[in-house]
Structure 1
Amino acid sequence: MQALFNPYYDVTRLGIFLTASPRHADLLAVTGAVTGAMAEPLRRTYDAMPEPKVVVAVGTSAASGGIFAGSPGIIGAVERVIPVDIAIPGSPPPPLAIIAGLWLALGRIPPVACR
């Protein structure tokens, strides 16, 4: 995710910015599998976002639990805690795949363009 904000990809020129509070966010990008300790903070963050809200599971671990699925203390995929709109596969996914997933989630590109 950090690579998206470097000078090469610079997603700020595409209108994508980080916010300090979920109350100002349109989209929640979640990376990694959800642990038992993070399930409630994740739910609270999601609940604090204004409508309409979009959730993107970035990476295989966020989308399915990845190699951590079934481990003690791991709940697994993000969708077991909050609804997910888009899942971007990869471990880690390439920056351009993340950008395409974010744009798809925000409705800026049609689903056909991501095939």
Structure 2
Amino acid sequence: MRQLLKKIRSTGRVAEPAPERAGDGDVVLRGSVQVRHVDAGSCNGCEIEIGSAFGPVYDGERYGARLVASPRHADVLLVTGPVTRNMAEPLRKAYDATPAPKRVVAVGDCARDCGVFKGGYGVEGAVGDVIPVDVVVRGCPPEPPEIIEALRGLTGR
């Protein structure tokens, strides 16, 4: 027991090294990415494709992307739909709760520019109008391989 305490005292505190930065100052995500999906007001077409992307056929987890239940555990927010007035503040809170370094992926045309919902009375705006967006996946809805490719691009896999 004394040897263990002596070793602990001599080692001191050990922390993870600071995240590596790319040439443009962005933090490079390494290893697997933890993904939190946020539906900001979509028609659920993109959710079906996300479900397929993480299902047995496309299996997004084999590339190191894993869905998590809390933004506090996430590296990436996967946001779908135009941001409705009721979801603007919860989306900001989810973004603030996600620890740095964090990335935001806007999935679908509605997340990119409100799509067919543009100008609707209940629409706050696109995802980029509410929180900063790093990657956009185009399509209505985008296909599962495109979603997986966007997530793979975040880690370089």
Q: TM-score, normalized by length of structure 2?
A: 0.67
Q: After the TM superposition, which residues 14-93 of structure 1 pair with which residues of structure 2 at under 5 Å, given as runs?
A: 14-93=63-142
Q: Give aligned-pair identity as a percent.
A: 54
Structure 1 alignment gaps of length 5 or more: 110-115
Indicate the SS of the match to 1:79. Answer: helix
Deviations 1:37-83 (A, max 9, x none): 00000000000000000000000000111010111010121011000
Structure 1 CA distance, aligned partners of 2:102 and 2:156? Answer: 15
Q: TM-score, normalized by length of structure 1?
A: 0.90
Structure 2 alignment gaps of length 5 or more: 1-49
Q: Higher helix fraction: Structure 1 or Structure 2? A: 1
Following superposition, the deviation at residue 18 of structure 1 comes to 1.0
Alpha carbons 1:56, 1:85 under 8 Å: kept: yes
Aligned-CA RMSD value: 0.9
Runs of 4+ in 1 over 3 A off after TM superposition: none
